[in-house]
Amino acid sequence: MSFKYANHEKWLKQSLKSFGNAAVFILVLVVEALLNGQLHPIILISTAAVFLFSVFRGFDYIMREQRDYIRVDDNIMSIDRGSLVLPRRKIRAESIERYIDYDPQLILKLRNEEDTQVNTDWLSDEAVSYVKQYLNNKLDANQT
């Protein structure tokens, strides 16, 4: 079962902020060209790189609601890290020792003494209930 990112105003605000950053970098490039009459290659390349990154992040935030935040299979929970560059965090059910419901997060305590956080604000209420039920079932199964 998979749960997509919840419809959240935050994604729209972040995408607008990223597109605004991209516009500022283009403005800096234009002002630099007008004031100096030319552009130094380092300024051009660095500004273009930051511009492309900002546009990429803007589209990433717009498309966020279409991506799965959490995927739950029989024994594996896969959590998106919020970036297209970073791989999903895969957690085996038997490696979960316990979880702490610390609103707005579920903190998963793993047997190898690591923590993983699930932001419950990024999920619908139904998805949060299902994830908690899944965790309770797996924790009960691990104890028997």
pLDDT tens, position by position, 39-94: 888 888 998 999 999 999 999 999 988 999 999 988 899 999 887 788 999 999 88
In angstroms, rounded to a whole number, what is the distance separating the alpha carbons of residues 114 and 19? 35
Considering the domain architecture, whether residues 14 and 53 belong to the same structural domain is answered as yes
Considering the domain architecture, whether residues 108 and 126 belong to the same structural domain is answered as yes
Instruction: Tally Cβ neighbours within 10 Å of residue 70.
Output: 23
Q: What is the pTM of this model?
A: 0.78
Considering the domain architecture, whether residues 11 and 46 belong to the same structural domain is answered as yes
Considering the domain architecture, whether residues 110 and 128 belong to the same structural domain is answered as yes
Q: How many residues does the chain have?
A: 144
Averaged confidence pLDDT in the chain: 88
- Domain with 27, as residue range(s), is 2-65
pLDDT, residue 144, reads 61
Considering the domain architecture, whether residues 80 and 130 belong to the same structural domain is answered as yes
Considering the domain architecture, whether residues 59 and 74 belong to the same structural domain is answered as no
pLDDT, residue 71, reads 92
Considering the domain architecture, whether residues 97 and 57 belong to the same structural domain is answered as no
User: Would you say 47 and 23 are in contact if contact means Cβ atoms under 8 Å apart?
Assistant: no
